Amino acid sequence: MSSIRSCAVAALLLVPLAAHAQEGPVTAYPAAFFAPAQPYSAFDMLQRLPGFTFDPGDAEVRGFGGASGNVLIDGKRPTSKQEGLEAILRRIPARSVERIELVRAGAAGFDLQGRPLVANVVRRGEAVMRGRVEAGLGAYPGERQAPRFAGEVSRRSGERLLEASASVAREIDAEKGEGPRDRIDPFGAPLRHATYRENKWTDVAEGAAGYEQGLAGGKLRLDASVRAERKRANILETATFPAPSAEVVGERENVTEGELGGHYERALVGPWALEALALGRWSRTRARDQADEGPDREVARVALDARESIVRAVARRAGPATTLEIGGEAALNTLASRNGLSENGIDVDLPAARVRVEERRAEGFATLTWRPRPSLTVEAGGRIEVSRLTQSGDASLAKTLLYPKPRALVSWRPTAHDELRLAIERRVGQLDFEDFVSSASLTSNTVTAGNPDLEPDRAWRTSLTWERRFGGVGSLVATLRHDEIGGVVDRVPVVGPGYAFDAPGNIGRGVRDEAQVAVTAPLDRLGLSGVVVKSDVTWRRSRVTDPATGVSRGISGEPDFQGAIHLTQDLPRWRARWGVDAVLAQTKVEYLFNEVKTDRVDTRLGLFAEYRPTPAWNIRVQADNLTDGKVYRRREQYGGVRGAAPLRRIETRAMDFGPFVSVTVQRAFAGGAR
């Protein structure tokens, strides 16, 4: 581990003094800039964009603004929330990309939605039909296989664009496997020894279609998608001490999702422009877990039905030195949940097991960006969010929440190759509706109670970023962040007559400090032609008072360190490229009411090679987890609420998944439009 971190530090020391100049808040990189890497898709091109780290966004966030990633396509954000941003970018052929722009705060005509930096993929506008087909196969330990088939086609004619895509695939969870699961008492004496084996996979089928054309002096875009997931996990735990026994657990979950959305934009009077969006989503989840050990049987059932409707409008005025943006968003979200747990055919009472949650939310926002000189940008704005939450069923509750969210950003370029950014903003988290509902895990033998009175956390964040560009393709981006958090969402005990459960809850004030360093370093000056090292590492420290013990600790689920290092070499002469990917070890600690759970994933090393026999074909071979990185779990379990009850036992589990390989073949095609 220390050697891997040393490599990350060494990458920082490779920064040469030569600078790559940038002009204004938009830096354009033409397609020729990426040509030596022989990219196959827009996503491949983004991996070589200096100073940029891809963020796919989070489709689970309610509303549109906070869910989007940090990539625009032709200056606009994709309408879809359900379809992943990476999937959208992978189906844009590199040959159809004219340029990629790095857009910073202050750039006129772009919706950055509070981000200091986004990438904008600009496609060519010629009339043409393009498409791609893909076939892949992954080979995993235990003779398991994961096939994938995908295809997409697009046709552009003037202002009209029609796109369609479909795929079927199997995804195997590489953080499962086989290994020992042992228990000892607080003094180290063995209590139980077992072998634990878990296989988990998901079968996915999805399809999407999009259409855009000019309308009433503007542009209309319509999108629709559907996705079906079939998740399966088989678990076998065989104990040999103190007595032979076996437990078999089967986890089954089926999820169906659909989405329909539309986006319209047009110029208004003078420098004003309008964007409007409407989006509707729905999902249906049915799950059943069953655990059998001898004559005993436990069954957990989950039924979730969720809907989301969003409307959003933004008016933007772009001037030579100022940009004004005003707008609003309204959303209606519902979740109906019916969960259950039974032991040997007898139902177990769970608090808040049958619940319907509804949220009506509205947000208004305004942002003014001022560029008093080319090297200085000042952005000030704010949002006001109001929501009405109602809950019915096993728990009834109604509340109104109102949160102002001011924000200020100053960007200064003291030289042509350096930029400093200082931002201060108030951030408000978002509640997970499933935290309102009780759930059970048969593999860990835990029950999590729902908390109908949960509120989102609020934080004042201050961040300082230094960005330096060098050598044409190199960059260094260093960021310091400090969060002052109110109402930290963590874990709290729920204790009543004859029962004690764990639940999500607000546990008071906390702080979080982060240091992030992202480096893109070409090694040509060291005689390594075409070699680029790209790393992104984050150090984090958070503190909050534990509600069970009264002792200061970290916030649950936040790793102290995380990062990745990537090395690639382009071999244009051989129409090939290869690379090494290292995902660094990561540890997460979760503080439940009666246990402290620590999960650790070892550093994992991967190797890939790509060959382009012709511009239309791409063959990729990839081997992952070559270091045979294991997944560890340690559970310190107490006889009751921590701080009041003694430590009862310590359980450890180590799962070995092993290396695995995959092969992917892609074929692109294009033809002139008739």
Give residue-wise pLDDT tens across range 545-581.
999 899 999 999 999 999 999 999 999 889 999 999 9
**pLDDT at position 60, please?**
63
**pLDDT at position 77, please?**
80
Residue 303 inside a domain? The answer is no
3-state SS of the chain: helix, strand, coil percent to 5?
5, 65, 30
| The 3-state secondary structure of 36-70, one letter per residue | HHCCCEHHHHHCCCCCCCCCCCCCCCCCCHHHCCC
In the chain, % of residues over pLDDT 70: 91
**pLDDT at position 480, please?**
97
Examine the pLDDT at 185 and tell me if it is beyond 60: yes
Residue 44 inside a domain? The answer is yes
Query: What confidence tier does 634 reach under pLDDT thresholds 50, 70, 90?
Result: very high
**pLDDT at position 2, please?**
42
Report d(CA 37, CA 600) in Å as an integer: 34
Examine the pLDDT at 281 and tell me if it is beyond 60: yes
Query: What confidence tier does 22 reach under pLDDT thresholds 50, 70, 90?
Result: very low
Examine the pLDDT at 247 and tell me if it is beyond 80: yes
Q: Which residues contact 101 (CB under 8 A, 6 or more apart)?
A: 26, 27, 28, 29, 119, 120, 122
Q: Decide if 183 contacts 662 (C-beta within 8 A).
A: no
- Summarised one tens digit per residue, pLDDT across range 328-338 is 999 999 999 88
Residue 80 inside a domain? The answer is yes
DSSP annotation string for 109-169: T---TT-SEEEEEEE--S-EEEEEEEEEEEEETTTEEEEEEEEEEEEEETTEEEEEEEEEE
- Summarised one tens digit per residue, pLDDT across range 422-431 is 999 999 988 7
Count the neighbouring beta carbons within 10 Å of the beta carbon of residue 651.
19
Whole-prediction pTM:
0.87
- Summarised one tens digit per residue, pLDDT across range 78-117 is 777 667 788 788 878 888 889 999 888 767 667 777 677 8
- Which of 114-123, 489-498, 578-587, 632-641 is predicted least confidently? 489-498
Examine the pLDDT at 125 and tell me if it is beyond 80: no
CA atoms within 13 A on the CB side of 409: 26
Query: In a 3-state reduction of DSSP, which class is residue 467?
Result: strand
**pLDDT at position 21, please?**
38
Residue 421 inside a domain? The answer is no
Query: What confidence tier does 498 reach under pLDDT thresholds 50, 70, 90?
Result: low
Count the neighbouring beta carbons within 10 Å of the beta carbon of residue 594.
20
List helix spans (H) across 237-355. Answer: none
Query: What confidence tier does 67 reach under pLDDT thresholds 50, 70, 90?
Result: low
Residue 76 inside a domain? The answer is yes
* Mean of pLDDT values over 472-488: 92
Examine the pLDDT at 306 and tell me if it is beyond 80: yes
- Summarised one tens digit per residue, pLDDT across range 307-329 is 999 999 999 998 888 989 999 99
Examine the pLDDT at 240 and tell me if it is beyond 90: yes
Query: What confidence tier does 44 reach under pLDDT thresholds 50, 70, 90?
Result: confident
Query: What confidence tier does 449 reach under pLDDT thresholds 50, 70, 90?
Result: low
Report d(CA 447, CA 45) in Å as an integer: 45
Residue 412 inside a domain? The answer is no
Residue 450 inside a domain? The answer is no
* Mean of pLDDT values over 465-489: 91
* Mean of pLDDT values over 147-156: 91
More confident residue, 197 or 492: 197
Q: Decide if 352 contacts 438 (C-beta within 8 A).
A: yes
Examine the pLDDT at 5 and tell me if it is beyond 60: no
Cα angle at 470 between 469 and 476, to 5 degrees?
A: 50
Domain count for the chain, please give it.
Answer: 1
Examine the pLDDT at 674 and tell me if it is beyond 70: no
Examine the pLDDT at 14 and tell me if it is beyond 60: no
Average pLDDT score over the chain: 87
**pLDDT at position 81, please?**
67
Residue 17 burial (CB < 10 Å; 0-12/13-18/19+)? exposed
Which of 53, 112, 44, 105 lies closest to 77, judged by CA? Answer: 112
Q: State which amino acid sits at residue 415.
A: T
Examine the pLDDT at 410 and tell me if it is beyond 80: yes
Residue 469 inside a domain? The answer is no
In the block, residue with structure tokens 């963020």: 55
The token pair at 403 is: 């949160």
* Mean of pLDDT values over 365-394: 90
Count the neighbouring beta carbons within 10 Å of the beta carbon of residue 404.
11
Domain of 107 in residue numbering reads as 38-124
Q: State which amino acid sits at residue 360.
A: R
Element spanning 5, H or E: helix 2-12
The token pair at 27 is: 């830096």
Element spanning 309, H or E: strand 296-318
Which of 385, 337, 377, 381 lies closest to 357, judged by CA? Answer: 337
Query: What confidence tier does 350 reach under pLDDT thresholds 50, 70, 90?
Result: confident
Which of 576, 579, 597, 575 lies closest to 588, judged by CA? Answer: 597
**pLDDT at position 19, please?**
33
CATH code of the domain covering residue 118: 2.170.130
